[in-house]
């Protein structure tokens, strides 16, 4: 990402929305916004293989592993406004487990892009499945979308839930129910 070029575009945007980019409070804003976007879209410049980087380990255990309440922040691709909330990731290993912090890193790699929540949820599940060849994988995400809260229908309390289930989490109702109950969503949904 060319930060200088992005800063120049932000300066033009400030003029278009009716601001004066030369007033004191805004002098450094274009550069700050460019730096913020570099971070918020860093997923485009992150290689998932580097992220996982040797953190896959052999293990005979085949119990369900669940990481709950991972904070997720992303930008909706329709309005470039934040959506944020919590993500729960679970899997049943088949001879391979992954370092637990890597679950959050896989999530961030996809969250730090322009996204829709449905695709983000599915990409996390697919990447995890690809990385460890699990018996099953499940991802549930609950987010509030600022494009709905601040504008549009202005529904401040609405939370959108998406899920993606693969392997035994998809094929076996009991496994899926166990996962949903572990992430506090028993009864399905």
List the catalytic residues: 76-79, 117, 145, 147
**Closest to Zn ion by CB, 40 or 147:** 147
**Closest to Zn ion by CB, 31 or 147:** 147
Q: What are the beta bridge partners of residue 121?
A: none
Minimum separation from the CB atom of position 76 to Zn ion (A): 3
CA pair distance 89, 127, nearest whole angstrom: 12
Q: Which residues have CB under 8 Å from 90's CB, separation 6+?
A: 64, 65, 66, 67, 137, 138, 139, 169, 179, 182, 183
Minimum separation from the CB atom of position 78 to Zn ion (A): 4
**For the window 59-98, what string marks contact with Zn ion as x by the rule CB under 5 A?**
-----------------x-xx-------------------
Minimum separation from the CB atom of position 28 to Zn ion (A): 28
Q: How far is CA 39 from the centre of its chain?
A: 14
**Contact with Zn ion (CB under 5 A) among 26, 31, 147, 160:** 147
Q: Which residues have CB under 8 Å from 119's CB, separation 6+?
A: none
Q: Should residue 8 be labelled a site residue for Zn ion when binding is judged by CB under 5 A?
A: no
Q: Should residue 149 be labelled a site residue for Zn ion when binding is judged by CB under 5 A?
A: no
| H or E element, residue 50 | helix 48-52
**Closest to Zn ion by CB, 32 or 78:** 78
Phi and psi at 146, nearest 5°, equal -65, -25
Residue indicated by tokens 């085949």: 62
Q: Should residue 130 be labelled a site residue for Zn ion when binding is judged by CB under 5 A?
A: no
Please tell me the count of residues contacting Zn ion according to CB under 5 A.
4
Going by C-alpha positions, the residue among 165, 161, 82 that lies closest to residue 124 is 165
By DSSP bridging, strand 136-145 and strand 96-98 are: unpaired
Indicate the residue whose CB is closest to Zn ion. Answer: 147
Minimum separation from the CB atom of position 116 to Zn ion (A): 8
CA pair distance 125, 119, nearest whole angstrom: 10
CA pair distance 44, 177, nearest whole angstrom: 34
**Closest to Zn ion by CB, 123 or 168:** 123
**Closest to Zn ion by CB, 116 or 177:** 116
Binding site residues, Zn ion, CB under 5 A? 76, 78-79, 147
């Amino acid at each position: 990402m060319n930060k200088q070029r992005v800063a120049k575009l932000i300066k033009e945007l400030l003029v278009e929305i009716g601001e004066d980019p030369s007033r004191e409070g805004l002098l450094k804003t274009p550069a700050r916004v460019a730096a913020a976007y570099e971070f918020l879209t860093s997923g485009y410049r992150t290689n998932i293989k580097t992220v996982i980087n040797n953190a896959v380990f052999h293990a005979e255990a085949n119990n369900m592993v669940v990481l709950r309440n991972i904070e997720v922040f992303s930008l909706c691709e329709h309005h470039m406004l934040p959506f944020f909330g919590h993500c729960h990731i679970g899997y049943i290993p088949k001879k391979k487990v992954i370092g637990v912090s890597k679950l959050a890193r896989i999530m961030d790699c996809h969250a730090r892009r322009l996204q829709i929540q449905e695709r983000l949820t599915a990409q996390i599940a697919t990447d995890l499945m690809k990385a460890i060849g699990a018996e099953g994988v499940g991802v549930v995400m609950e987010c509030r979308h600022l494009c709905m809260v601040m504008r549009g229908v202005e529904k401040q309390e609405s939370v959108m839930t998406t899920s993606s289930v693969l392997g035994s989490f998809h094929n076996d109702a009991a496994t899926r129910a166990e996962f949903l109950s572990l992430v506090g969503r028993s009864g399905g949904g």
